[in-house]
Amino acid sequence: MNIKKLIITLVSSLVISSSVASADGHVKYSVTADNVSEYASMLTPGMMNMFAQYPETFRMDVYENGANCTLDSEIAAISQSNGTMINDNEGIEVPNAGQIPFPDPSHPQHYVWNYRMYAGTVSAVDRIQTSVNVKADGSITTGQQDTNISFPNNPRTKIMYADKNMFALFMQKNLGPPRSAGLVTLVHDFIDSYMQPRKAWQYSPATRRVRRAPDISYDSLTSAGGGIVTIDSYGGFNGAQDKYDWNYEGKQKMIIPMNNDALSETSIETTFTINHPNPDVVRFEERDVHIVHATLKQGQRHLYASRTFYFTDQNEFGANLLVYHDMYDDNQDLMRTNYQTTVAGNMGGQGLEDTSCNPQGEYTMDFATRTYSGTNLFGPAVSPRSSIYNGEEMPASFYTPDGLRRYAR
């Protein structure tokens, strides 16, 4: 190793140590391939498989529990009573627009609804997020997506929309890598997908035309996820729930990623090591989770024949945050695992309360190809500019096919 590389390595190590120590204190214990059997009851099948596939390098450093991030105080104040699921559980009616639908969940889909609607606890988002795809040989491809989202159902929203079923208006421009740069996607997402399925349009820089994009749903692949992230697993889970039967499998103490400030403050080159994120910068804690399993309905088609979701307890965090997602094929073999990382506050951005739960990123590992992907990555070390939450809303005309055309060109 030459002197320049040695200095870079030492500086990176100091940065990592400082970030972790300042946010987390000291490691309570580490789970490795040598002692994983002792902690098997607190690990998902996905994490167990990571130890089996990468026994020499995969590790989980477990810390004393840090402070809980919380639900926004204004949303918490209106989230006091459960809503009702309607239209074969594909829609909801709630006492207060913008609330967490089921503060006292009692049905497996309540947890899914709570997670899906959590995104709408802000009125608007303006950000550039980063994606990183790592091949089996360790080579890295990075991309960035300039994203604007409005949530018409949020109580802070100033622009009124006639359609009260509208959940999110989403516009995203791919800034890179070069093969996808200039692709722009517009999505209208609805609360009740039974009454109104998702609408989507895309602008292609190759044809310079706007077309309807009916495939922006279910198991179509995202442009940011390196061929291993489906549309409905982007952000953990989003969209319609109608293809699956849902079953609640209980509450259990597990080792989960939480309070991952270090990930938002560490360079892409340091975090994205071969096969999996660098264990030195990922923080885990022991927390209670609710386990929900989804099985593909008879006659339905999807890449994932079943999926298991792990949600935080609403009494700890004010919401059911998704922390793990295991995905199985038709033979019930584990195809992929995903974990979501969360921090408290703005990560250098603005508009959130200091204790608000804020997703830092999501990491999806594919066991067959030995590749993995980091998507929706935020923070001062990975985003070119700070995110703005609850800021100025884009006009309604921006989220139209004509607005897409103007924005793209």
- Residue pLDDT, tens place only, 113-156: 999 999 999 999 999 999 999 999 999 999 999 999 999 999 99
Residue 106 in tokens: 């009692």
Per-residue model confidence (pLDDT) at position 162: 86
CB 222 within 8 A of CB 215: no
Report the DSSP beta bridge partners of residue 251.
Answer: 290
Residue 280 in tokens: 């030195």
Q: For residue 303, give Cα distances in angstroms to 69, 80, 228, 277.
A: 34, 37, 11, 25
Q: Has residue 15 got a pLDDT over 90? A: no
What are the structural domain ranges in the chain?
3-408
Q: Has residue 24 got a pLDDT over 80? A: no
Residue located via tokens 């997670």: 115
Helix (H/G/I), strand (E/B), else coil: 377? strand
Q: For residue 137, give Cα distances in angstroms to 140, 336, 372.
A: 9, 18, 11
Distance CA 50, CA 30 (A): 15
The pTM score is 0.93
DSSP codes joined into one string, 301-354 = --S-SEEEEEEE-HHHHSS--EEEEEEE-TT--EEEEEEEEEEES-TT-BSS-T
Homologous superfamily of 3-408:
Lipoprotein localisation LolA/LolB/LppX (2.50.20.10)
Helix (H/G/I), strand (E/B), else coil: 193? coil
Nearest partner of 15 among 257, 270, 259, 260, judged by Cα: 270
Distance CA 112, CA 238 (A): 9
Per-residue model confidence (pLDDT) at position 1: 39
High-pLDDT (> 70) share of the chain, %: 94
- Residue pLDDT, tens place only, 59-77: 999 999 999 999 999 999 9
Handedness of CA 188, 387, 289, 273 (dihedral sign): positive
What is the phi-psi region of residue 299: left when phi exceeds 0, alpha when psi lies from -120 to 50, beta otherwise?
Answer: left
- Residue pLDDT, tens place only, 329-375: 999 999 999 999 999 999 989 999 999 999 999 999 999 999 999 99
High-pLDDT (> 90) share of the chain, %: 91
Q: Has residue 284 got a pLDDT over 70? A: yes
Residue 329 in tokens: 């094929």
Residue 240 in tokens: 């319609």
Cβ neighbors of 358 (< 8 A, separation 6 or more) are 69, 342, 343, 344, 345, 346, 347, 352, 378
